[in-house]
Amino acid sequence: MSVQVSVQKIKDIWSPYRMKLWCRTTVHMTDVRREIKLGRFIKKPWSMRRGWTSEQHAQRIAWLVVNGWADPIEVDVGIPGIMGGFMLPDLITDGNHRLAAAIYRRDKTILANVSGSASYARELLGVDI
């Protein structure tokens, strides 16, 4: 089941603009702004078969900023206490470009499929799953 999740709550924990997710480098909002201004976009989602440059990731985010999307991102909050402790897994398992676009657009919420501990999802993101 998909739920609306606060972009700000996710951003406080996991921001694609603060992390080295793509090409082991960081994509900045100024990179996205530049690609929008220049009209350089990548419509096709990222392919695991080839690596992209940070510029290409910015172009993908730029396309999403301008055109939007309909599919939810995938969020995994994990399960506290498993493996003798708790470490937050890769919170966004699919949808970092969409999340980056939502942050850029200052969207209040984003559609997400949330998995993991229901009580931790409520505590961390304020959603019931």
pLDDT digits (tens, 9 = 90+) for 16-58: 999 887 767 789 999 999 999 999 999 988 665 567 888 999 9
The predicted pLDDT at position 87 comes to 54
Q: Is the pLDDT of residue 82 over 70?
A: no
Domain-by-domain residue ranges, the chain? Answer: 2-125
Greater confidence (76 vs 23) lies with 76
pLDDT at 56: 92
Dist CA 66 CA 62 (whole Å): 6
Task: Report long-range pairs for 25-30 (Cβ below 8 Å, ≥24 apart).
Answer: 25/54, 26/54, 27/54, 27/57, 27/58, 27/61, 27/100, 28/58, 29/103, 29/104
